[in-house]
Amino acid sequence: MYIDDTITAIATAPGEGGIGIIRISGPKSLEVAESIFKSNSGKKISEYKARTLIYGKIVDKRIDTDNNSYTESVIDEVLVAYMKGPNSYTAEDVIEINCHGGIVSVKKILELVLSKDVRLADRGEFTKRAFLNGRIDLSQAEAVIDIINAKTSKSHEVAQGQLEGSLSKKIKDLRFKVTELLAQIEVAIDFPEEDIEFITYKELKEGATNLRYQIEKLYDSSESGKILREGLKTVIVGKPNVGKSSLLNLILGEKRAIVTDIPGTTRDVIEEFVNIRGIPVRIIDTAGIRETEDVVEKIGVEKSKESIQSADLVITVLDYSNDISDEDIEILKTVDKSKTIVLLNKTDLDKKIDIAQIDKYVNTDNIIEISALNNIGIEKLEEKIEKLVYKGNVKNNSEIVISNSRHKDALEKSLRAMEDAINSINQALPLDFVEVDLKNVWDYLGYINGDTVKEDLLDTIFSNFCIGK
């Protein structure tokens, strides 16, 4: 499918910069570019070898009807590149104009291009055209925005692998295996009386079970993938003066939160992003949880409790140098045991908390002794966060990780359909039932790479892109 009209947009970030890029894609790209560009050599763009950077000027030609002539005004000195389709980003003819990155210069060139029967591109339309023209599939297209939004090297690595087709190849392989099973089932249904060796229910079960295992393995990586894509929402909670703000400052490597001996200093949530061993961590320091009559502090305490409920990980800080209190116990009862790390802070002072008092509220392996003041135990905390995030799913760089919630949903539906197929096989139901379930698996897997996706979903996906991409 090719689009008939020609589109344009600014491909670089708004504001001042060294370079600004205006991208044009579509059948009129070369014609439009040649009408506004003058090379220093006097040659046209089409006379140069494709993918060559050509130095010249963008000129605005104005026709003077009275004198039957025209005037030219130079907008900017530029470098122009012509990429002939299908060997371009969109698989169409593409022109990229590299000008000075000032706001006025970029805007003037864009307006000049738009005056040549070219329309402004929609959000993500360049990448959408690359998908519609078959250069990339839908999962690769979505990886483009993940690369742009990547906050750590690991999240960038996962997105880059997806852009290069690691997930696409896996999905194609799974759908091929589903197709093989369907072909054997259809032969058995269509030619029941022929002298053909048909697939047995035992062979069907083996093939379906193996497929389920492979889909399940992909699905299990989705929690780690979601965190790598969106960040691990981590909330630091505890009573006032246990060292929460000191811990935040230590993790960030800067004095972001005010630290005093006065209880209730932190009255609102403080939120920052930090890179912990390649994991983007959205870390939130909350107001100390306690009973208080202070109206402002009370609002902060309520926000702290709300943050706990929506967190991916809760770091509960206790003061090791004081006996455990009823308030500490109440906090431990509030948090989810499966997503909590307890830090016993102030190990540089006398230790008064017996771990046996708290291990029923949290997994013992998730209790770490630290001193935020002396930078002790922070490496153990980072190691524990890494272990909790990956859970053994992401063993090395070659592992495929599901980082997109749409992909996760499609895998979840395909797993349910696969379970239905296996149940039908176990009950020795007619092969027609198994065929229907396996066709559902095939369809759901096709949602991921775009083979069975509908146009309204495409519009939703690409609306999340920036205009120039």
> Which H, E and C letters describe 209-224, residue by residue?
HHHHHHHHHHHHCHHH
pLDDT in tens, 302-311: 666 666 777 8
Q: Which residues lie closer than 8 Å to 306 by C-beta, 6 or more apart?
A: none
- Can you identify the CATH homologous superfamily of domain 231-390? P-loop containing nucleotide triphosphate hydrolases (3.40.50.300)
Q: Which residues lie closer than 8 Å to 402 by C-beta, 6 or more apart?
A: 167, 218, 219, 221, 222, 225, 408, 411
Average confidence (pLDDT) over 267-284: 78
- Fold category of 7-136 in CATH: Gyrase A; domain 2 (3.30.1360)
Q: How far apart are CA 335 and CA 354, in angstroms?
A: 20
Q: How far apart are CA 351 and CA 365, in angstroms?
A: 19
**Could you give the percent of the chain with pLDDT greater than 70?**
86
Least Cα distance to 342 among 323, 369, 375, 322 occurs for: 369
| pLDDT of the residue at 305 | 64
Please report the DSSP string for 104-140 in residue order. Answer: HHHHHHHHHHHTTT-EEPPTTHHHHHHHHTTSS-HHH
Highest averaged pLDDT of the listed ranges 230-239, 258-267, 374-383: 374-383
- Residue 319 belongs to what H/E stretch? strand 313-319
| pLDDT of the residue at 397 | 43
Q: Are 342 and 362 spatial neighbours (Cβ–Cβ below 8 Å)?
A: yes
| pLDDT of the residue at 197 | 60
Long-range contacts formed by 361-367: CB under 8 A, 24+ apart: 361/329, 361/332, 361/333, 361/335, 361/337, 362/316, 362/332, 362/335, 362/337, 363/337, 363/338, 366/340, 366/341, 366/342, 367/341, 367/342
- Fold category of 149-221+400-450 in CATH: Four Helix Bundle (Hemerythrin (Met), subunit A) (1.20.120)
pLDDT in tens, 57-79: 999 987 766 666 678 899 999 99
Half-sphere exposure of 415 (CA within 13 A, CB side): 14
Of 163-177, 206-220, 326-340, 425-439, the least confident:
326-340
The amino acid that residue 74 corresponds to is V
Instruction: Name the H helices within 292-404.
Output: 295-310, 326-334, 378-390
Of 41-50, 440-449, 452-461, the least confident:
452-461
Which has more pLDDT, 64 or 338?
338
pTM greater than the 0.85 cutoff: no
| pLDDT of the residue at 196 | 58
Q: How far apart are CA 111 and CA 98, in angstroms?
A: 15
* Cα radius of gyration (the chain): 30
In the 8-state DSSP scheme, what is residue 39? Answer: E
Average confidence (pLDDT) over 44-56: 94
**Could you give the percent of the chain with pLDDT greater than 90?**
40
pLDDT grade for 466, boundaries at 50, 70 and 90? confident
Query: Where on the phi/psi map is residue 439: left (φ > 0), alpha (ψ -120 to 50), or beta?
Result: alpha
Q: Are 141 and 128 spatial neighbours (Cβ–Cβ below 8 Å)?
A: yes
Of 12-16, 287-291, 342-346, 353-357, the least confident:
287-291
Q: Which residues lie closer than 8 Å to 327 by C-beta, 6 or more apart?
A: 239, 289, 290, 291
| pLDDT of the residue at 277 | 85
Chain center to CA of 463? 15
Helix 455-462 and helix 138-149, axial crossing angle in degrees, nearest 10: 20
Q: Are 402 and 219 spatial neighbours (Cβ–Cβ below 8 Å)?
A: yes
Q: How far apart are CA 22 and CA 108, in angstroms?
A: 11
| pLDDT of the residue at 201 | 87
Average confidence (pLDDT) over 442-462: 83
pLDDT in tens, 200-221: 889 899 999 999 999 999 998 8
The amino acid that residue 29 corresponds to is S
Domain ranges of the chain: 7-136, 149-221+400-450, 231-390
Q: In Å, how far are 124, 128, 140, 175, 394 from 460, measured between CA atoms?
A: 10, 11, 16, 25, 29
pLDDT grade for 3, boundaries at 50, 70 and 90? low
Average confidence (pLDDT) over 129-145: 91
Please report the DSSP string for 335-349 in residue order. Answer: S-GGGEEEEEE-TTS
Q: Which residues lie closer than 8 Å to 281 by C-beta, 6 or more apart?
A: 231, 232, 234, 273, 274, 275, 385
The residue written with tokens 């230590």 in the block is: 250
CB atoms within 10 A of CB 68: 7
Can you tell me whether residue 28 is helix, strand or coil? coil
| pLDDT of the residue at 194 | 59
Least Cα distance to 215 among 429, 433, 442 occurs for: 442
Least Cα distance to 163 among 371, 403, 381, 360 occurs for: 403
Least Cα distance to 316 among 227, 242, 233 occurs for: 242
pLDDT in tens, 15-37: 888 999 999 999 999 999 999 99
